[in-house]
Amino acid sequence: MQSLLRENRLFPPPADFAAKAHIQNLEQYESMYRKSVEEPEEFWAEAASELDWFEKWTTVLEGEMGSAKWFVGGKLNLSHNCVDRHALSNARDKVALLWEGEPGEVRKITYGELHVMVQQFANVLKGLGVGKGDRVAIYMGMCPELAIALLSCARIGAIHNVIFGGFASHALVDRINDSQCVAVLTQDVSYRRGGEVKLKAIVDEALGKCPTVKNVVVYQRSTVEGSPERKTPVSMVEGRDIWWHEAVATASAECPPEWMDSEDPLYILYTSGTTGKPKGLVHTTGGYSVGTYLTSKYIFDLQKDDVYFCTADIGWVTGHSYVVYGPLQNGTTVLMYEGAPNWPDCDRFWRIVDTHKVSVFYTAPTAIRAFIKWGDAYLAPYTLDSLRLLGTVGEPINPEAWMWYHTNIGKERCPIVDTWWQTETGAILIAPIPGAVGTKPGSATRPFFGIVPEVVTKEGEPVPKGQGGLLVIRKPWPSIARSIYGDPDRYKSAYFSEIPGSYFTGDGARQDEDGYFWLMGRVDDVINVSGHRLGSAEIESALVAHPKVAEAAVVGRPDEMKGQAIAAFVSLEEGHEASDALKQELRQWVAKEIGALARPDDLRFTPTLPKTRSGKIMRRLLRELATTGTVTGDTTTLEDFGVIAKLREGDE
Closest separation in Å from C-beta 145 to ligand ATP? 24
395 assigned binding-site residue: yes
222 counts as binding ligand ATP under rule CB under 6 A: no
The SS3 of residue 584 is helix
546 assigned binding-site residue: yes
Distance (Å, rounded) from C-alpha 621 to C-alpha 551? 16
Pick between residue 338 and residue 540 the one whose CB is nearest to ligand ATP.
540
Among 359, 419, 571, 606, binds ligand ATP (CB under 6 A): 419
455 assigned binding-site residue: no
Neighbour-count burial for 222-254, b at 16+ CB within 10 Å, e otherwise: bebeebeeeeeebeeeeeebbebeebbeebeee
194 assigned binding-site residue: yes
Distance (Å, rounded) from C-alpha 398 to C-alpha 549? 12
* 3 state SS for 514-546: CCCEEEEEEHHHCEEECCEEECHHHHHHHHHCC
Closest separation in Å from C-beta 644 to ligand ATP? 18
> Pick from 377, 401, 381: which is nearest to 390 by CA?
401
Distance (Å, rounded) from C-alpha 166 to C-alpha 171? 10
Pick between residue 29 and residue 420 the one whose CB is nearest to ligand ATP.
420
Q: Are 609 and 646 in contact (CB under 8 A)?
A: no
| # residues near ligand ATP by CB under 6 A | 24
Among 79, 423, 443, 571, binds ligand ATP (CB under 6 A): 423
Distance (Å, rounded) from C-alpha 46 to C-alpha 26? 21
> Pick from 214, 218, 213: which is nearest to 180 by CA?
213
Closest separation in Å from C-beta 62 to ligand ATP? 26
212 assigned binding-site residue: no
Pick between residue 274 and residue 502 the one whose CB is nearest to ligand ATP.
274
258-277 residues near ligand ATP, rule: CB under 6 A: 271-276
Closest separation in Å from C-beta 409 to ligand ATP? 17
Region from 13-21, 192-200, 416-424, 460-468 binding ligand ATP, contact rule CB under 6 A? 416-424
24 assigned binding-site residue: no
360-379 residues near ligand ATP, rule: CB under 6 A: none
Distance (Å, rounded) from C-alpha 86 to C-alpha 66? 34
Pick between residue 278 and residue 432 the one whose CB is nearest to ligand ATP.
278
> Pick from 321, 300, 301: which is nearest to 312 by CA?
321
What is the per-residue binding string for ligand ATP in 379-408, x denoting contact by CB under 6 A? --------------xxxx------------
Describe the crossing of helices 580-593 and 536-544 by its angle, rounded to 10 degrees: 120
H or E segment and range at residue 403: helix 399-404
Output the CA torsion sign for 255, 261, 262, 264: negative
Q: How many other CB atoms sit within 10 Å of the CB of residue 154?
A: 29
37 assigned binding-site residue: no
Closest separation in Å from C-beta 195 to ligand ATP? 26
Distance (Å, rounded) from C-alpha 215 to C-alpha 243? 11
The SS3 of residue 624 is helix
412 assigned binding-site residue: no
What is the per-residue binding string for ligand ATP in 605-624, x denoting contact by CB under 6 A? -----------x--------
Region from 15-23, 378-386, 413-421, 460-468 binding ligand ATP, contact rule CB under 6 A? 413-421
530 assigned binding-site residue: yes
203 assigned binding-site residue: no
Q: How many other CB atoms sit within 10 Å of the CB of residue 378?
A: 17
> Pick from 247, 263, 141, 156: which is nearest to 191 by CA?
141
Distance (Å, rounded) from C-alpha 1 to C-alpha 148? 47
Question: How many whole angstroms from its chain centre is CA 144?
Answer: 19
418 assigned binding-site residue: yes
632 assigned binding-site residue: no
208 assigned binding-site residue: no
Closest separation in Å from C-beta 23 to ligand ATP? 20
Closest separation in Å from C-beta 274 to ligand ATP? 3
Among 347, 418, 593, 624, binds ligand ATP (CB under 6 A): 418
Looking from the CA of 181 toward its CB, the CA atoms found within 13 Å total 31
Q: How many other CB atoms sit within 10 Å of the CB of residue 192?
A: 17
Closest separation in Å from C-beta 272 to ligand ATP? 4
400 assigned binding-site residue: no
> Pick from 466, 451, 552: which is nearest to 509 by CA?
466
The neighbouring-strand residues paired with 541 are: none
Q: Residue 572: which residues within 8 A CB-CB, separation 6 or more? A: 548, 549, 550, 578, 582, 605
Q: Are 281 and 639 in contact (CB under 8 A)?
A: no
Q: Residue 332: which residues within 8 A CB-CB, separation 6 or more? A: 296, 302, 306, 308
Closest separation in Å from C-beta 642 to ligand ATP? 21
Pick between residue 118 and residue 523 the one whose CB is nearest to ligand ATP.
523
What is the per-residue binding string for ligand ATP in 507-526, x denoting contact by CB under 6 A? x-----------x--x----
Pick between residue 336 and residue 393 the one whose CB is nearest to ligand ATP.
393
List, as residue ranges, the binding site.
192-195, 318, 342, 394-396, 418-423, 507, 522, 530, 533, 544, 546, 549
List, as residue ranges, the binding site for CoA.
192-195, 318, 342, 530
Residue ranges in contact with ligand ATP by CB under 6 A: 271-276, 278, 317, 393-396, 418-420, 422-423, 444, 505-507, 519, 522, 616
List, as residue ranges, the binding site for Mg(2+).
544, 546, 549
List, as residue ranges, the binding site for ATP.
394-396, 418-423, 507, 522, 533
